Structure 1
Amino acid sequence: MALSRSQFFTLLSAGVAGAILASPLKAFTTPLPGASTLLAQTPPVAAPAVTSVSDMNIFQAFILGLVQGLTEFLPISSTAHLKVVPVLLGWGDPGSAFTAVIQLGSIAAVLWYFWSDLSQVVNGAVRALVRREYDDKDFRIALGIALGTLPIIVGGILIKVFVPDYDNSPLRSLGAIAIASIVMAVLLGVAESIGKRKRDFSQLGMQDGILMGLAQAMALIPGVSRSGSTLTAGLFMGLERATAARFSFLLGIPAITLAGLVELKDVVTGGFAGVGALPLLVGVISSAVFSYISIAWLIRFLQTQSTLVFVVYRLLFGLAILASIAARQPWTVGQ
C-alpha cells in the first residue's frame, strides 16, 4: 500500500530529527552578532570563518536556511549565494557539512509541493509499464525524468574521479561564479525573447527530459543555477514559462536528493560530531519553509510574468562580484 504524503513526511521528519538530535545539543554556543559586527567594514581584519556548525548560532542558521530556500529554486544559483552572502555578513564559509544538511529542507519542500504530481506520474508509469502502454503520458514523463537525471550523475562522477580537488578549482572561484551568472543571464534573456512558449505539461515527452537533463548538468558549475539552466532550456524548447518551471522542479527532485545524500554521507557516518543540534534543526526548517514559498511564488509568477527580473538580477549580481574583485575588496570566499 502506497504511503500518503502525510505518512511519508512523518517518517522523513522523524528520521531527520533523530539524526540531528543524536549529536550533542549545542544551541547557543556562539552569541548573536550585533549590528556593529554585521555592518563593520574594516579592511585590515579578515572575517573569521565559520569552520563548523558548532561555531554557528541560531540566527545565522536561520538566515542561511532562508538563503538556501529562496535561491535553490529561483533561477539565480543557490551555490553562489551560499558562498557569497555569509562572507559579506562577516561569517565566513559555513562549510559543506551545514549546507548539505539544510538542503534536506529544500528536498522536503519540493517533495511536499509536488507530491500529487509525483504520485500521478509514478503510479501512471508503473501501470503503463505493467500494461506495456509505452505511449502513456505518465510513462513518457517518468522515463524523461529518469533519463534526464543521468547527465548530472555522470558529470558528478567524472568530476569526482578526474577533479578530486574540485572544491578548490578555478571553476568555484568568485570570478567564475560571476562569469557564469552573467552568461546564464544572457542565455535566459535570449530564451525569453525567442521562445514560442506554446507547449503545456500535457505535451511533455521523453526527449524533453533528456534535453533539459543535459542543461541541468551545467549546474555542476557554481553560478549557473540548476533551475536557471533548466528553465532556460525549457523556454528554448517552446514550453510555457510555468510548465518549464514545473518540469524543472520535477526533474530536479532526483538530482537534488542524490546530491544531498552524497554530500551528507560523510556527515552522517561521522555522527554529526561537534555539531549543534538546534542550529541544524533551525536551518533545515528555515530552508524547507522558504523553499516551499519560493516554489509556489515562482510558478504563480511565471504564469503571468516574464523572466526579465531574473535576467537583470543575475547580470547585476555577476557585475557586482566582478566589481568587488576589481576593487580588490579584502573579503574572499573560503573553500
Structure 2
Amino acid sequence: MDTLQILLLSFVQGITEFLPISSSGHLILTPLLFGYELQSLAFDVAVHLGALGAVMLYFRRELVTMTLAVFGSLRTRSIADPNARLGWMIVIATLPLVVLGLPLKLVLEFLRDDPTLAAWVIAATSIGFGLLLWWGDARGKRTRDEFSIDWRDAVVIGLMQAIAIIPGTSRSGITITAGLLLGLTRKAASRFSFLLAIPTILMAGGIETLDLMKASEPIDWFSLSLGAALSFVFAYLAIHYFLKFIERVSMLPFVIYRVLLGILILVLLW
C-alpha cells in the first residue's frame, strides 16, 4: 500500500466509524472509487483498532468510573449507582452481537468477495437506514439521557447493532437511531453508541486478529501501524466535533448524505 492510500483509508475509517454513515461500507467503496485493490483484512483490523484507541481515550474518565462502579455493584449486588447501571447496560447491549456476530460475519466476508454485490447492498442500506435515522430523529421524544437506559432498551439497541455488520448499515447510525426511537436525546444516544463501540470493536478486532495469526501471508507492519495511528487521530476528532455540534445540527445532514450516496451508487451501477 502506498502512503496516499493508507492516508485515504485511515481518514475514511476514522471519520466514518463514529458518524452515522457506515465505516465498513466506505472501506469497501473507497478502493472501488479510486481504483485500488481492496485492502487486506489486516489493514481493516488495524484502522478499527486505531478508532478503538480514540474512543477509549476520549471517554477515559467515564470508563474508569463505570468500571469501578460495575465491580462495586458485584460486591454490593446493587446497580443503584447510575454509572454501574450504565456499565451493565453496555454489557447487555453487547450480548446480541455475541450470539449473532458469527453468522452475520459470514455475510460480510461473502460481500467482500463480490464488490459489485456489496455496492448494491451498500446503496440499499445507505438509503433505507438513512431514512430510518431521519424518522427516528423526527419522531423521537429526546427527553432521556443515557443513564435512564434499562435492560429492554439495551437489548433493542444491541439487536440493532448486530445487523450493522451488513455494509452500509452503520453501527453508530443504527444504534443512534434505536436510541432516538427509545426517547434518548441526540447526545445521549450518540454517547451510548460510542461507549458501546468499545467492547464491540475490541471483540471483533480480537476475533479478526486470531484469524490473521492463523494465516500464512506476510504482514506489512509499517502500513498497519501508520493506518492505526492516522485512524486514531481522525476518529478522535470525529467524536469530539460530532458530540459538540449534534444537538444543534440534528441528523438531517447525515440522512441527506446517505441518501445521495445510495443514489449515486445506484446510478454508477446502472
Shorter-chain TM band: over 0.9
The 1:244–1:65 alpha-carbon spacing in structure 2 relative to 1, beyond 3 Å, is same
Letter paired with 1:140: R
Q: Give, in angstroms, the shift of residue 106 of structure 1.
A: 0.7
Q: Give, in angstroms, the shift of residue 231 of structure 1.
A: 0.6
Answer yes or no: is 1:317 the counterpart of 2:261: yes
Q: Give, in angstroms, the shift of residue 191 of structure 1.
A: 0.7
2:166 and 2:264 map into 1 onto residues whose CA distance is 19
Residues 119-146 of structure 1 show CA distances to partners (whole Å, capped at 9, x for unaligned) of: 1111111112201223332232122111
Q: Determine which structure has more spread, i.e. the larger CA radius of gyration.
A: 1
Seq. identity, %: 39
Q: Give, in angstroms, the shift of residue 78 of structure 1.
A: 0.5
Specify which of 45, 52, 59 is matched with residue 100 of structure 1. Answer: 45
- Alignment RMSD (CA, Å): 2.1
**Any runs of at least 4 consecutive aligned residues in structure 1 with deviations exceeding 6 A, and if so which?**
161-164
Q: Report the more deviating stretch, 134-143 or 213-222.
A: 134-143
Answer yes or no: is 1:290 the counterpart of 2:237: no
Q: Give, in angstroms, the shift of residue 251 of structure 1.
A: 1.3
Asked if structure 1 preserves the Cα contact closer than 8 Å seen for 2:86 and 2:146, the reply is no
The 1:216–1:159 alpha-carbon spacing in structure 2 relative to 1, beyond 3 Å, is closer
SS of corresponding position for 1:91: coil
Specify which of 68, 73, 76 is matched with residue 131 of structure 1. Answer: 76
| Corresponding residue for residue 213 of structure 1 | 158
1:66 and 1:257 map into 2 onto residues whose CA distance is 20
Letter paired with 1:207: R
Letter paired with 1:235: L
Specify which of 216, 222, 247 is matched with residue 278 of structure 1. Answer: 222
2:104 and 2:127 map into 1 onto residues whose CA distance is 23
SS of corresponding position for 1:153: helix
1:138 and 1:325 map into 2 onto residues whose CA distance is 48
Specify which of 88, 94, 103 is matched with residue 158 of structure 1. Answer: 103
Q: Which runs of 5+ in 2 are unaligned?
A: none
1:277 and 1:164 map into 2 onto residues whose CA distance is 23
Specify which of 119, 124, 134 is matched with residue 174 of structure 1. Answer: 119
Residues 3-60 of structure 1 show CA distances to partners (whole Å, capped at 9, x for unaligned) of: xxxxxxxxxxxxxxxxxxxxxxxxxxxxxxxxxxxxxxxxxxxxxxxxxxxxx12221
| Corresponding residue for residue 58 of structure 1 | 3
2:65 and 2:221 map into 1 onto residues whose CA distance is 36
Residues 139-184 of structure 1 show CA distances to partners (whole Å, capped at 9, x for unaligned) of: 3212211111111121112346899846447996211110000001
SS of corresponding position for 2:11: helix
| Corresponding residue for residue 135 of structure 2 | 190
| Corresponding residue for residue 300 of structure 1 | 244
1:163 and 1:92 map into 2 onto residues whose CA distance is 17
Asked if structure 1 preserves the Cα contact closer than 8 Å seen for 2:105 and 2:165, the reply is no
Answer yes or no: is 1:76 the counterpart of 2:21: yes
**Normalized against structure 1, the TM-score is what?**
0.76
The 1:153–1:175 alpha-carbon spacing in structure 2 relative to 1, beyond 3 Å, is same
Asked if structure 2 preserves the Cα contact closer than 8 Å seen for 1:231 and 1:248, the reply is yes
Q: Which runs of 5+ in 1 are unaligned?
A: 1-55, 327-335
1:300 and 1:69 map into 2 onto residues whose CA distance is 17
| Corresponding residue for residue 110 of structure 1 | 55
1:216 and 1:162 map into 2 onto residues whose CA distance is 15
Aligned residues: 270
The 1:164–1:269 alpha-carbon spacing in structure 2 relative to 1, beyond 3 Å, is closer
Asked if structure 1 preserves the Cα contact closer than 8 Å seen for 2:52 and 2:197, the reply is no
Asked if structure 2 preserves the Cα contact closer than 8 Å seen for 1:68 and 1:78, the reply is yes
Q: Give, in angstroms, the shift of residue 281 of structure 1.
A: 1.6
2:181 and 2:55 map into 1 onto residues whose CA distance is 24
Asked if structure 1 preserves the Cα contact closer than 8 Å seen for 2:21 and 2:168, the reply is yes
Asked if structure 2 preserves the Cα contact closer than 8 Å seen for 1:147 and 1:210, the reply is yes
**Normalized against structure 2, the TM-score is what?**
0.93
Asked if structure 2 preserves the Cα contact closer than 8 Å seen for 1:185 and 1:315, the reply is yes
Asked if structure 2 preserves the Cα contact closer than 8 Å seen for 1:171 and 1:222, the reply is no
